[in-house]
Amino acid sequence: MGACGGENEAGSNGGNADDGKITMGFAQVGAESGWRTANTKSIQEAAQAAGIELKFSDAQQKQENQIKAIRSYIAQKVDIIAFSPVVESGWDTVLKEAKDAKIPVILTDRAVDSKDTSLYKTFIGSDFVLEGKKAGEWLVKEYQGKTDTVNIVELQGTTGSAPANDRKSGFADVIKADPKFKVIASQTGDFTRAKGKEVMEAFLKANPKIDVLYAHNDDMGLGAIEAIEAAGKKPGVDIKIITVDAVKDGMTALAAGKINFIVECSPLLGPQLMDLAKKVVKGETVEQRVLTEETTFTPEQAKAALPNRKY
């Protein structure tokens, strides 16, 4: 600690690693879900453990707020910027601004669709297409040997976000092999419990026969469970439910049989992010893509995993 004194000239090359301590500006999506809360905690705790000074902002699920935060980190000459882009498109301009200021950027959790991959150093997070596929594969197995039509409703994540786009396409890709699977309604619930409930209420009103709900995260699924129960139906029995994330509340509902299957998406990205940040600031090369390891859970597996679940 304190190896470099304050006598150095202020960083002339943009970043200010001259004080020996790395400063990271992190532009978070918001606080929309249990996943996000766990992700924020992981980042804050890991920064502290790694001795990285963290400047943290919450964009309340708005891209314009994230762009503002990133611009302010550039103006403050942080050493590195990390962010979880709320949507995939529209980042080129601000990423170029960071590049021109020689401040490296790490994408965490969600991807951008920028063609120029030199605009960021690495992208750490899950394979959302694979998550959607795992959800679809469970469904295919569950209805194996049956011929009746399976009416599916889908609660999508935030419109234009990587997890919503990819979880939708991965799932669709797997179930399209069998025409008995029909997605009869698909709408965004913005990854929140309140929106999940509201949209599920509308689904239930408009569709007398719903067999399956596929929700892009636990929170929307949990909101939908309230709507299903209020409509006098049994979640997990009358309507089978698949979600993604595997946060504690989701796992509890899974263990209770109200959700049938959860595809895990780990929010604990903090420690890996801090390791990568240190390497990038030192000028070491890092992998362009760092994948998170994940599994899936049935009710039995949820019961076994719950006592040790950290989030």
Cβ proximity to ligand GYE: between 17 and 247 the closer is 247
Sign of CA dihedral 18, 19, 20, 23: negative
Cβ proximity to ligand GYE: between 32 and 211 the closer is 32
Q: Report residue 307 as tokens.
A: 């006592």
Binding flags for ligand GYE, 251-290, as an x/- string (CB under 6 A)? --------------x-------------------------
> Which one of the spans 27-35, 143-151, 174-182, 289-297 is the region binding ligand GYE (CB under 6 A)?
27-35
Binding flags for ligand GYE, 229-258, as an x/- string (CB under 6 A)? ---------------xx-------------
Helix (H, G, I), strand (E, B) or coil at 293: coil
Q: Report residue 181 as tokens.
A: 């699977």
> Which one of the spans 30-38, 98-106, 115-123, 234-242 is the region binding ligand GYE (CB under 6 A)?
30-38
Told to check if 36 binds ligand GYE by CB under 6 A, we report: yes
Shortest distance (Å) from residue 61 CB to ligand GYE: 9
- Please report the DSSP string for 234-279 in residue order: -BTTTBEEEEEE--HHHHHHHHTTSS-EEEE-----HHHHHHHHHH
Told to check if 35 binds ligand GYE by CB under 6 A, we report: yes
Told to check if 197 binds ligand GYE by CB under 6 A, we report: no
Exposure of 166 in the CB half-sphere (CA atoms within 13 A): 19
Restricted to residues 126-165, the positions that interact with ligand GYE (CB under 6 A) are 163
Cβ proximity to ligand GYE: between 184 and 268 the closer is 268
Restricted to residues 42-101, the positions that interact with ligand GYE (CB under 6 A) are none
Spell out the alpha helix ranges (H) of the chain.
Answer: 34-50, 63-75, 92-100, 128-142, 162-175, 193-206, 218-230, 248-255, 270-282, 299-305
Return the residue of 73, 171, 191, 297 that touches ligand GYE, per CB under 6 A.
191
Return the residue of 16, 23, 28, 33 that touches ligand GYE, per CB under 6 A.
33
Q: Report residue 178 as tokens.
A: 């069998």
How far apart are the C-alpha atoms of 304 and 311, rounded to whole Å? 15
> Which one of the spans 7-15, 33-41, 94-102, 201-209 is the region binding ligand GYE (CB under 6 A)?
33-41
Relative to beta strand 122-125, strand 105-108 is parallel
How far apart are the C-alpha atoms of 290 and 276, rounded to whole Å? 10
Considering just the CA atoms, what is the radius of gyration of the chain in Å?
21
Binding site for ligand GYE (CB under 6 A): 32-33, 35-36, 109-110, 163, 191, 217, 219, 244-245, 265
